[in-house]
Chains A and B, each alone.
Chain A
Amino acid sequence: MTADIGRVPSSAGRTPLTLWSRVYGFGSVFAKTLRDSRLAIIIVAGLLAGLMLSSGAAFGEAYSTVASRADLANLVANLPPAMTGIYGNPFPVMIETLGGSIAWKTGASIGLIAALWSVLALSATLAAEARRGSMELVAVTPLGLRRIALEKLAAHLTAMAIVVVVVAASTWLAGAAFATLPGDEIPLESAVGFGAWVGLVALASGSVAFALAPIVGRGASAGIAGAVLVGGYFLNGYQASVPAFAGVANLTWFGWTVHHQPLTGQPDWTSLAVVAIVPAILFALGVEAFARRDLGSTSRIPWPGFPEALIGLRGPMSRSFGERLPLALAWGLGVGIFGFIMGAAARSFGEELANISPATLDIIQAVFPNIDLASGAGAFLQLVFVEFGFILAGFAAATFVAGWASDETSGRLEMLLTTPMARARWAIAAGLGVFGAIALFTALLATGIGLGAAIGGGDVVTPILGTVVLGLYGLALAGIGLAVGGIVRTSIAGEAVAAVVIVTFLIALVAPALKLPDWVYQLALTAHLGQPMVGIWDPAGMVACLVLAVVGLGLSGWGLSRRDVAA
């Protein structure tokens, strides 16, 4: 027997999208993905814009005379190749201009950070959702796997476009705000050229992860793409000092675009077009791999796990620390290597500066009277690392707090709190696990800086102790995040910390530049932390950090005890 149910019109049952759905990100896979990326966009755009503006401000302030610029150019021209390439740009040009200086010192780092984000985002966008099962629900809608992959990809491309616009705008703004000599202005097309390079290099790196993720899963694809990215960055940076690297460096997108220097008026658009081919091909491969393979099925790459003692099964504190451990190691090793390179470069930089440009040394000494570059690694680290280090420590704290919050946001807390454990105990013990992760991050960073300082020369102990101040800053921000999570809700705790990091950085950057009242500058916690790498301590600020950490931890326990646990 057959039954004719008739033909349903194709438009039947199709709910019209409300404006609210569109605005809030529920109108499509694209919009939902973009919505889920909003925190990352804010962090990355804020970080890169901050880096650009702080580089511009520092250059404008330190090199405001023709003589000092000439000295700087002379210094850089005579630096050993190993030093020249330390910032990832082995062939600096027009270093005496604001654009040239930014391109040499900060440009490659901005590209590296954007690329790291792209790798993390594109390795997860399909694979992570497939693994947790939500992709199956999306996949059985009438969209089709290719379209889902394309919409998710389009969302990342849009996110990257937003970041590129912010980078280009901040580059142009740095030129407009901090130009002190003719030639410092950065034309809009130059800023756009730089932004385009950042976006394309980032997408090329991310596309490796995107193409591999459907095959090997999120972690392995991120690892492989990350290795390609970091390897390419360093091979390119050191190709001038290690000729053997040059051949391999020319296989990387960093090498292809090494002569694209738009901030000095020397763009190489052809090289950008070549780079653009990489993501175009790899994105297509990734979409096809996702569409053709079994959903969520990946080939496992053998990888050693943590020893069971470190996983943390004894209680909420050890569990919280165990959960944060991989992230703490990643942050600590990453920033620690950066600190190591900075510390190791100190001697070479100081000696060259003293030999080639005593006048520049005098200028730096006049602007930063407590910093004697001839004294060793600490001074160099204070000059070039600490400000960035505070930002990184803050964002590390934000990710640890977000992990702490995930017990509640994922629904685990419901089961945990029906064991004989008071809410306050969970909040405080798990918060202490977060503090432990920050301590590990700080220890690894201190190790990197200590080893670097030992190579760089001078006092080793002071920079190591100075790193502790970065850790205290991280603890303070974590305390704020824990308090927000306990009292208000945990789902915004990580965002709250990230917001404090960005606001603090902007206050410290903008208040002096705009000559705002001193009390505005004093609002920034970093204004009260002295110059730790050279042993100038501010006990009040350090105590304030500890108080924020301890009080925040206590408030998290108190707050959680008084409110409903989220379902």
Chain B
Amino acid sequence: MTAVIETEALTKSYGPHRGIVDVDLLVDEREVFGFLGPNGAGKTTTIRTVLDLIRPTSGRALVFGIDSSVDPVAIHRRVGYIPGEFTLYDRLTGRQTIEYFANLRGGVDKAYQASLIERFDVDPSRKFKEYSKGNKQKVGLVIALQHRPELLILDEPTSGLDPLVQQSFYALVREASAEGRTVFLSSHILSEVERTCDRVAIIRDGRIIKIDRVDALRDLAHHQVELRFVDGVPVAEFEALPGVSEVVVDDHTLRMRVSGAITPVVRAAARYELLDFVSREPSLEETFLAQYGQEAVKTSRS
């Protein structure tokens, strides 16, 4: 596969403020790549550096094999982008705003543009200042998508969208992927990444702490296992099993956290008479929780 985005030890320092440190990313062609992290973790800084809106302190970012600091215009020609927060021209209508950006790019398929406006249910006759937050976001999405870019860089794209429009957006992401385009989706909405992305990178405090397939991340994560015994609980036997931790006994019930393969626990449990065996597959949210701890998840939700 060809790398569409590749960063090598990408670092951006803001003096005393944290930026990003040694970020190494590799996003392949046709991939839907999730970029997950709480607010302030460095997601937007990474994106802005990749797009040459800010310059790296060290390291480099390549998009389509082009160094972002060397020829950003060549990159931008092939990219569609929606920032996490943006404002446009108050006095222009939605249609005029979309048309202006189409003019800046050139070669926009008007029929496709119209279909996007329809799919996102945008009223293009209203002035931008009169739009709600969600409708402004829709206009931004049309601008990002209307030229059928090879690479979509979307920074928290569903912010403010109602569930129906979110579904339209997810469908468009799937279509883009099916058409061979690449999507880089920054989000702190775990379910969004889980349902949309092939792979995910988790960033915390400006550093990438995990990159893997969404499925693999889930597999790598712990299982919460709960065994209810008829008789006494053989705590020591289960504590000695590989990957078992946080063992808690409550009367005839044994609860534990199991990292990695769950097979040893199943085999051990099979030797006893059980009233119940519950193993819960962790959600990505719980994976995230395990990586970040409760405090980080709270931060990401705030």
List residues of chain A with CB under 8 Å of any chain B CB. 131-132, 308, 311, 313-316, 319, 323, 410-412, 414-422, 564-565, 567
Contacts and interface: CB of A to CB of B under 8 A. Distances in A.
Given A308-B96, A412-B87, A565-B48, 10 more contacts: A314-B103, A411-B83, A411-B87, A415-B83, A415-B143, A417-B51, A418-B51, A420-B74, A421-B76, A421-B104
Contacts of A411: 83, 85-87
Contact of B73 (A132, A319, A412, A422): A422
A315 B103 CA distance: 7
Given A131-B129, A311-B92, A421-B76, A415 B99 contact: no
Q: Which 5 A-B pairs have the closest CB atoms?
A: A564-B54, A420-B77, A419-B104, A418-B81, A313-B100
B73 A421 contact: yes
B96 A415 contact: no
A567 B87 contact: no
A418 B99 CA distance: 16
B137 to A, nearest CB: 12
A417 B92 CA distance: 19
Contacts of B74: 420
Contacts of A410: 87
A410 B91 CA distance: 14
Nearest to B130: A131
A417 B76 contact: yes
Nearest to A417: B53
B79 interface: yes
B178 to A, nearest CB: 24
Given A414-B83, A415-B140, A567 B48 contact: yes
A410 B87 CA distance: 6
B55 interface: yes
Contacts, number: 73
Provide the main secondary structure of the chain A interface: loop
Contacts of A419: 76, 101, 104-105
27 contacts: A131-B129, A308-B96, A311-B91, A311-B92, A313-B92, A313-B99, A315-B103, A315-B104, A316-B104, A411-B86, A412-B86, A412-B89, A415-B81, A415-B86, A415-B143, A416-B104, A418-B51, A418-B76, A418-B79, A418-B81, A419-B105, A420-B73, A420-B104, A421-B73, A565-B48, A567-B44, A567-B48
B227 to A, nearest CB: 32
A323 B128 CA distance: 14
B48 A319 contact: no
Nearest to A564: B54
A420 B76 contact: yes
Contacts of A417: 51, 53, 76
Contacts of B172: none
B88 interface: yes
A565 B88 contact: no
A314 B55 CA distance: 29
Contacts of B48: 414, 565, 567
Interface string B159-199: 00000000000000000000000000000000000000000
Contacts of A314: 103
Contacts of B89: 319, 323, 412
Nearest to A305: B91
A66 to B, nearest CB: 58
B54 to A, nearest CB: 4
Interface string B66-97: 00000011101101011101111101100010
Nearest to B153: A418
Contacts of B92: 311, 313
B100 A414 contact: no
A319 B99 CA distance: 12
B11 to A, nearest CB: 14
Contacts of A315: 103-104
B88 A415 contact: yes
A565 B73 contact: no
Given A418-B81, A565-B54, A319 B100 contact: yes
A430 to B, nearest CB: 12
Contacts of A567: 44, 48
B86 A414 contact: yes
A567 to B, nearest CB: 7
Contacts of B54: 564-565
Given A311-B96, A323-B89, A567-B48, A415 B101 contact: yes
Contacts of B55: 564
B107 to A, nearest CB: 10
A105 B197 CA distance: 72
Contacts of B76: 417-421
Contacts of A319: 89, 100
A410 B129 CA distance: 13
A103 to B, nearest CB: 41
Nearest to B80: A418
A414 B53 contact: yes
A412 B101 CA distance: 11
Contacts of B51: 417-418
Contacts of A422: 72-73
Most chain A CB inside 10 Å of its own CB: which residue of B44, B73, B104, B129: B104
A427 to B, nearest CB: 14
B184 to A, nearest CB: 13
B97 to A, nearest CB: 9
Nearest to B51: A418
Nearest to A313: B100
A421 to B, nearest CB: 6
Contacts of A316: 104
Given A313-B96, A319-B100, A418 B85 contact: no
Contacts of B100: 313, 319
